[in-house]
Amino acid sequence: MATTITMPQLGETVTEGTVAQWLKKPGDSIEKYEAFVEVSTDKVNAEVPAPVTGTLREVLVKEGETVATGTPIAIIDEVGAATQSNAHGTEPTQQVADAAAAPPKPSNGSTAHAAPAPQATHAAPARPAELDIAGLEAALRVASPAVRKLAREHRIDIRALQGSGANGRVTAQDVLTAAQMGPAAAVGQAIAVGTNFGATGAPAMPPTQAKPPAGGTSTYGEPLPGTTIPLNQARRIIAQRMVESKHTAPHAWSMVEVDVTNLWKWRQREKDKFDHETGGLKLTMLPFFIRAVVESLGVFPLMNARFTDEGIYVNKDVNVGIAIGLATNLVVPVVKHADQLSIKGLAVASAQLIDKARRNKLGVDDLAGGTFTVNNNGSNGSIASAPIINGGQAGIVTMEAMVKRPVVTADDAIAIRSIMNVCLSLDHRVVDGYVASGFLADLKRRLEAMGPTGIL
């Protein structure tokens, strides 16, 4: 029996999706629940698992093509069902009857005659995916889609790598390091760690297949001069949203310096205890910052508003988006009802969202409903930035790098203090400078009041 796969609806408001990448090609065998295509929408990227075990007969939508939800995108012949279906003269489902009218071509020397299902499975020369299904499934678990794509571009067998990430996950840096070592070295590493290369005992990706990475990138993953990097769906959407925001909302900007010396001491005092209580979560400065932000939003509700044709709508809920930059993408998952969470609760919620983002596991609900956004540019050493406002919000605030500086104290003494700049971009249609400066002053006061005597 032929199973038609349709474009999934990844959220209530999502009406279309784009085939970002086919992880399988026609003729490849697919295990039930194995990811075989990556789909992207304006909300999220997701890998689509196969509902049945079988063979990918036909791809109906090309990579980069956008279609409405419910549109057929592929046909899978279930194991043992395709031959039986042909023998009895049954047709694929009417939904894809026209697309599937032509019989599939015999692959790699197989004949057009029907054969029992077990024999059909071995009719074609085995491909790596067929040699070691368990290895592929393991690869799906230990690396994100972006990392697996990077590995394919560099002709690296991801199963051959020892991951340096959490729980042994393979990171982009692991792939780039293997690429710098060269294919032969990557194979040697695989042998050293006892990777199963398949029934033949030969490497699934032998050194002879090595070639320069595609897509205009160097061995180190950086763009090569004079090349054009194709736009993926996520980058197109990011570009569209950034332009819309800048053209629609008149941006204004302001900044304050914040003395976070006592806050830093508090974080240092609590981090080991927090790590123990939460099973290994890291206590960063972010949840302290979010807590101060939501308290200031309560005092200045216009900062938690949005501009509409009917007027300025002040949001009932305080849902804080966290801007997260990934290797090839930018996402803003949302901590719902952030004003109702303690610092510890914010730490757990934000850590979970960041982890899901890095593993490409964010759902549509994780990205919906934001009313204000925070961004941590300081992790990369930035000391000042002017971020673009997330559409439908009144502002975005960034925490910059914490630096030690000599400061004149209230009693005119010189002291070394930990100083952090806090930058605010605001929609001037909603908020005027007076309100924005008041918001920043309140935020500064709250951050500087946090110290070792506080309670998480």
Catalytic residue among 251, 337, 365, 428: 428
For 29-135, where are the E strands, in sequence order? 29-30, 35-40, 45-49, 54-59, 66-68, 72-78
Residue 73: phi and psi, rounded to 5, are -120, -20
Query: Which of 152, 144, 165 minimizes the C-alpha distance to 361?
Result: 144
**Residue 242 in tokens:** 């950034």
Which letter does DSSP use for residue 130 in this model? H
Q: Which of 49, 37, 34, 199 is nearest to 132 (CA)?
A: 199
Measured over the CA atoms of residue 48, residue 51, residue 56 and residue 60, the dihedral's sign is negative
Q: Which of 272, 275, 317, 432 is catalytic?
A: 432
Asked if residues 5 and 73 have their Cβ atoms less than 8 Å apart, the reply is yes
Distance CA(369)–CA(44), nearest Å, equals 14
Burial letters 69-86, b for 16+ CB under 10 A, else e: beebbbbbbbbbbbbebe
Q: What are phi and psi of 182, to 5 degrees?
A: 100, 155
Q: Are 383 and 357 in contact (CB under 8 A)?
A: no
Element (H, E) at 265: helix 261-277
Tokens, residue 16: 């279309």
428 is catalytic: yes
Q: Using the Cα atoms of residue 107, residue 110, residue 114 and residue 119 in order, give the sign of their dihedral.
A: negative
Bridge partners of 425, per DSSP, are: 253, 396
Which run of H or E residues covers position 259?
strand 251-259
**Are 23 and 42 contacting, i.e. CB atoms less than 8 angstroms apart?**
no
- Is residue 412 left, alpha or beta, with left meaning phi > 0 and alpha meaning psi from -120 to 50? left
DSSP string, 215-251: SSB-TTSPBPTT--PPPPHHHHHHHHHHHHHHHHS-E
H-run or E-run covering 403: strand 395-408
Both tokens of 268, joined, read 């240092």
**How far is 397 from 386, CA to CA, in rounded Å?**
9
Say whether 432 is catalytic.
Answer: yes
Catalytic residues: 428, 432
